[in-house]
Structure 1
Amino acid sequence: MSTIQMPTGRPRPQMPRIGNPLRAIAGKAPLVVGAVLLLLLTPSMFVYINPGNVGIVIHKLGGGVDRHPLGQGLHFRNPLTTGIEEYPVFMQTLVLARGNAEGSASNDEINVNSIEGQPVSLDVSLSFELDASKTPRLYTTFRTDIEHIQHGYVKQSIRQALQEVVGSEPIADMLGPKKAEVVARAQNLIATRLAQYGFMVKQFTINEIRAPAEVMQAINTKNVMQQQALTAQNELQKNMYNAQGDSIRASGRAKAILTEAQAQAQANQLLSQSITPTLVQYEMTKKWNGQMPQVTGGATPLLQLSPPGNR
């Protein structure tokens, strides 16, 4: 005989289900990864452009270079899709010289040829600023930082300008009377070629010019000879001036003596013409004191005075 169990009305107790812990972690993984990425990317989501600089915005997803650079200060950007290249727009000076005392560690001197075909090396310096509005074009053209542009295209532009100018002048003129003209012509050429990329040339200087030793010796010898010739010419002119001065003084003395003699002769002539017997007798009479001369004998001397008009 079967036994029938009646429900008592109380539910049967159930054991708790134990879920899969890996499934729980996997469900939260996107949130964790997102949080980690956010923490990692937050610093790079902001870029600070230093004073005196601009930021070139580079679109990594095929957008090229933004036409408007970022000014100084803090800017937001998407680090996954954009890059920033910072360019200085304050005044800079590029020094190209021999050795590593100035400029870079390498030998940056400029080597060209003079009109005589002689090799000439120059140490130069170029001071310039960048036009901020043209920096995107500058980066688009060269795709590198400003230092590589300076020692690449800018240096080549300086060399080309100097070759055109120095190649048309004798070395002696560049070292002497035409140095300022050479500097001015070279600066104009450099400024014209760099202006299209936003370079504003402020000053160009040739600090030193070097030529072969024998050429420099010949120039020095020529300069010494010219100086000696100039000294001799100055001495000759000085002697000529002294001689002319002596001649003028001698002529003056002679004229003075002649004038004095003529005056004396004329005075003597006038004096001789003015002395007459009557004048002599008159002068003697003015000096007579009225006393008769003392003579021996009984005769009385007579003082004979002729009337005026009788000689």
Structure 2
Amino acid sequence: MDTVKIPLGKRGRPSIPNPVRGLGGKVAWIIMGLVLLGVIVPSTFTYIGPGNVGIVIHKLGGGVDRKPLGPGLHFRNPLTTGIEEYPTYMQTLVLTRGQTDGSAGNDEINVNSVEGQPVSLDVSLSFELESTRVPTLYSTFRTDIQSIQHGFVRQTIRQALQEVVGGQEIAAILGPKKAEVVNRTQALLSERLAAYGFVVKQFTVNEIRAPQAVMDAINAKNVMQQQALTAQNELQKNMYQAQGDSIKAAGRAMAILAEARAQAEANQLLSQSLTPNLVQYEMTKRWDGKMPQVSGSAVPMIQLPNPR
């Protein structure tokens, strides 16, 4: 009898899904999502600090919004827009020979006087930016405010000073007309920078330098003028003193003359009033009734007034 062998196989086990493997994939996606959110979300908000405005730049078209963003938190699309923050508070541009008072280097302004002599000046300009004009300012120069200050604004200051200083003598600039130079230059700067949103608050000339030979000539001239003024004052003093002495002498002479005239008139009146009877009367008033003591046998004769 044939025996039929039936092959016996291993019993299969039911497949069980791996929870760790599935959870690991989800965690990876979650982490990636959080990273993306951490990168994208902060860039979708922009904070503009106090005293500043934000310029909205459209990356696709390259244009600039005409209305700036004010201080505070603002939402934006980081893929299509960019924000450039600009200060509007008061700033001071310092232009000096040395690296002092905020000057970046030798930023002195060099111009020529009416005589053609070189003049160098240390100046400073305080200004604010009009917030509504800031987008236009950025569209014009496409750079930060510091670059605009040391470029366009500095050249504008130099041009204004050349127009004003170029019509004056060095001696006048250093002396009586310095304030006029400052005021006229500030007026020109206010007018020319206003078109770009600058509001000029104050313009100052801190120091003026001229060639040493010119300074020596000015100093010598000032010394001579001072000496001449001193001599003139001394001459006037002597003239006034002489006039005073003359007036005093004339007064004394007039006083003596008046006194002499008064004495002469008094003598004349006195001589006219002296009569023999008056003299005899005065003698009688002063006689004490005693006979004068005389030696000899003669008897003094006393003449009495003759009554009438």
Q: How does the TM-score come out when normalised to structure 1?
A: 0.86
Q: Distance in 1 between matches of 2:302 and 2:116?
A: 119
1:282 partner letter: Y
Closer/same/farther in 2, CA of residues 304 and 127 from structure 1, 3 Å limit: same
Query: Equivalent residue for 2:229?
Result: 230
Closer/same/farther in 2, CA of residues 29 and 294 from structure 1, 3 Å limit: closer
Provide, for residues 12-54 of structure 1, a one-character-per-residue CA deviation record: whole Å limited to 9, x for no partner: 9897599xxxxxx999998876553322112222111111111
Q: Which moved more, 1:256-265 or 1:137-146?
A: 256-265
Query: Equivalent residue for 2:212?
Result: 213
Q: Distance in 2 between matches of 1:86 and 1:215?
A: 48
Equivalent residues, number: 294
Q: Distance in 1 between matches of 2:175 and 2:302?
A: 104
Q: Distance in 1 between matches of 2:300 and 2:175?
A: 109
Q: Distance in 2 between matches of 1:229 and 1:298?
A: 91
After TM superposition, give the deviation of residue 305 of structure 1 in Å. 2.5
Q: Which moved more, 1:113-122 or 1:249-258?
A: 249-258
Provide, for residues 163-212 of structure 1, a one-character-per-residue CA deviation record: whole Å limited to 9, x for no partner: 00010000000000100001111110011000011111111011111111
Query: Equivalent residue for 1:138?
Result: 137
Provide, for residues 226-264 of structure 1, a one-character-per-residue CA deviation record: whole Å limited to 9, x for no partner: 111111111111111111111111111111111111111
After TM superposition, give the deviation of residue 148 of structure 1 in Å. 0.5
Q: Distance in 2 between matches of 1:112 and 1:74?
A: 47
Residue 199 in structure 1 maps to residue 198 in structure 2: yes
Query: Equivalent residue for 1:123?
Result: 122
After TM superposition, give the deviation of residue 300 of structure 1 in Å. 9.1
Q: Is the 8 A contact 1:46 1:75 kept in 2?
A: yes
Q: Distance in 2 between matches of 1:298 and 1:121?
A: 120
Structure 1 gap ranges (5+): 1-11, 19-24
Closer/same/farther in 2, CA of residues 44 and 260 from structure 1, 3 Å limit: same
Q: Is the 8 A contact 1:109 1:122 kept in 2?
A: yes
Provide, for residues 106-143 of structure 1, a one-character-per-residue CA deviation record: whole Å limited to 9, x for no partner: 21000111111111110000011111111111111111
Q: Which moved more, 1:30-39 or 1:221-230?
A: 30-39
Query: Equivalent residue for 2:38?
Result: 39
1:178-189 alignment runs, 5 A limit: 178-189=177-188
After TM superposition, give the deviation of residue 102 of structure 1 in Å. 2.6
After TM superposition, give the deviation of residue 289 of structure 1 in Å. 3.4
SS at match of 1:214: helix
Closer/same/farther in 2, CA of residues 134 and 298 from structure 1, 3 Å limit: closer
1:164-183 alignment runs, 5 A limit: 164-183=163-182
1:1-311 alignment runs, 5 A limit: 35-62=34-61, 64-291=63-290, 301=301, 303-308=303-308
RMSD value, Cα: 2.9
Query: Equivalent residue for 1:7?
Result: none
Q: Distance in 2 between matches of 1:26 and 1:293?
A: 171
Closer/same/farther in 2, CA of residues 268 and 78 from structure 1, 3 Å limit: same
Q: How does the TM-score come out when normalised to structure 2?
A: 0.86
Q: Distance in 2 between matches of 1:161 and 1:303?
A: 115
Structure 2 gap ranges (5+): 1-10, 18-23
